[in-house]
Structure 1
């Protein structure tokens, strides 16, 4: 006797399984595609929490066909390792600052420029604009990495230091940890700082041992990584605004169905407004907690800092090698 095909719904994961029963034997369930997603952020960081929410939404939208496994705190390697893995197709996804992509295409480093953007809205608008889309298309075609979305705010970056930093003159000789990206290195070298490229995994120890005197990131990141327990000065410069990108190996992306691709983008876009609200909340809470825990919070003349750093943008662009048209477009956004 043959039983007609029916659809059964699992209570766990709401997975729809098409099963045809013949002589009492069930056919196998639909295949599940597992996408490992790496981040360098600690588990409580908003990007990690948002990626976990995205994973839940993707499972819902695909009926359980796509399972995103989230690995925070550089469990799959540091940023450059994961990006190289995506290019080779050995790592499926990475969620992190889009400036890391400058390792493959120099123009992506430009968003690591101090005072390039007026505020977070300005940064997000550029990332979602036509010029950035062309960069993203070029990256996918030439390097096998696709940026699905790039509108998750990272929040303004500030300094935390073992000695006070209040004016640009205080940067002279300051041993500051910077990401191993040329834009960051040159940006701090030009005003006289002793820019020290250093992996994030070594930054805490570096501050502790005096190898560096300062580092910089968004305040929620600084607090989550406990830098404030060593460096007791937080300087709110708001000197850089970045966006987090949700990225996927192009080879993996092409292996998915159109519906699965759409689900990934839809889920990431749906999470974005909530993510960006939480970034602002986390930053406010982190700064309040640091103040309670004995950190001196300093504010600067942002207009003066902005003017001086924008004055060196042309020299920086020449040294790093950004596309001239891109440089002129970004400068036009200052008006």
Structure 2
């Protein structure tokens, strides 16, 4: 054997030994978490806390891997992977879950609650837990926690907006779930569903005229480069959940199931309060970059969207959930 081949053989043996060692140290279970958000988003800090705390609480038996910027695909595709039993999770809104269990859609309905604390009461309630059980039993999806608050969503446009009539003819990007499209239509714009990753290019090429999103997502996607005005309507209070495969979750030892759900709630609070604390700074950043950020009287928008609840069958739920959010 030549010296070259001896070295090659030794190198191969070393690599094999390294792989065996890393395998021996590998976690018993791995969960891959997908999110459309950028790593700069305050909510992502909560995901990093979830990753670290799950590893500690499980004594290394359970590893969480994070995939920002939708690296595993659109949310809908990851949900289907989860339903098929894959060890994946996704940070997703209630509107996308409404196709499986209709009640989840009301969480994205217009002007349901203000800020994080009120909507947190809703998603930690017995009523919500009943929806989560149905999602698990009927659709193969497990809610780890649903207290991941991304902020209130506002209008992102080229021109100033003060009343719903100003949105006439505006092609506005929004997620494709009915609760979102009906809300945007009721506000006066033409809802145009697109994946979040396509919004920047669609705005810059005039495929759409505007969008609506929470402030951290605006800067995370660099939309300040392609919009001129943020109108603070707060029309949707974006609460999201960390959703995984019910089949995979049920296959875990009970102690690891508890680790996942407990740490998901804790991390959701870290993410949500971090988002809350970051909003004022993000708004200042947008203004410094030349974006107008306008406060308006949202009463006309509340009036215009009031019928969305009844149209989607959420009329009764609206009062119940608003009472829970108010602590009644």
TM-score class normalised by the smaller sequence: 0.7 to 0.9
> In structure 1, what is the Cα distance between the partners aligned to 2:100 and 2:275?
28
**8 Å contact from structure 2 (residues 37, 220) kept in 1:** no
The residue matched to 2:145 in structure 1 has which SS?
A: strand
Tell me which protein shows more helix as a share of its residues: 2
- Structure 1 equivalent of residue 166 of structure 2: 170
**8 Å contact from structure 1 (residues 136, 146) kept in 2:** yes
Offset from partner CA, 1:61-120 (integer Å, 9 cap, x none):
111000111111111111100111111112422123233212322222222222122443
- Pick from 316, 320, 325 the counterpart of residue 329 of structure 1: 320
- Structure 1 equivalent of residue 209 of structure 2: 213
**8 Å contact from structure 1 (residues 145, 248) kept in 2:** yes
> In structure 2, what is the Cα distance between the partners aligned to 1:44 and 1:334?
29
The residue matched to 1:149 in structure 2 has which SS?
A: strand
Deviation at 1:166, TM superposition (A): 1.8
Gap runs ≥5 in structure 2: 1-23
Deviation at 1:31, TM superposition (A): 5.7
The residue matched to 2:73 in structure 1 has which SS?
A: coil
> In structure 2, what is the Cα distance between the partners aligned to 1:43 and 1:29?
27
Aligned-CA RMSD value: 2.1
> In structure 1, what is the Cα distance between the partners aligned to 2:42 and 2:148?
10
- Pick from 286, 293, 296 the counterpart of residue 290 of structure 1: 286
- TM-score w.r.t. the length of structure 1 is 0.84
- Pick from 98, 104, 108 the counterpart of residue 100 of structure 2: 104
Q: 1:29 to 1:286 in 2, by over 3 A?
A: closer
For residues 1-335 of structure 1, the aligned pairs below 5 Å read: 32-310=28-306, 312-314=307-309, 317-318=310-311, 320=312, 322=313, 325-330=316-321
Q: 1:281 to 1:323 in 2, by over 3 A?
A: closer
Q: 1:331 to 1:268 in 2, by over 3 A?
A: closer
> In structure 2, what is the Cα distance between the partners aligned to 1:175 and 1:50?
33
The structure showing larger relative contact order (alpha-carbon pairs under 8 Å, at least 6 residues apart) is 2
Deviation at 1:332, TM superposition (A): 5.7
**8 Å contact from structure 1 (residues 220, 287) kept in 2:** no
- TM-score w.r.t. the length of structure 2 is 0.86
Offset from partner CA, 1:254-302 (integer Å, 9 cap, x none):
1111111111122222223332221023222221111001111111102
> In structure 2, what is the Cα distance between the partners aligned to 1:172 and 1:127?
34
Deviating more after overlay: 29-38 vs 155-164? 29-38
> In structure 2, what is the Cα distance between the partners aligned to 1:37 and 1:65?
17
Q: 1:135 to 1:334 in 2, by over 3 A?
A: closer
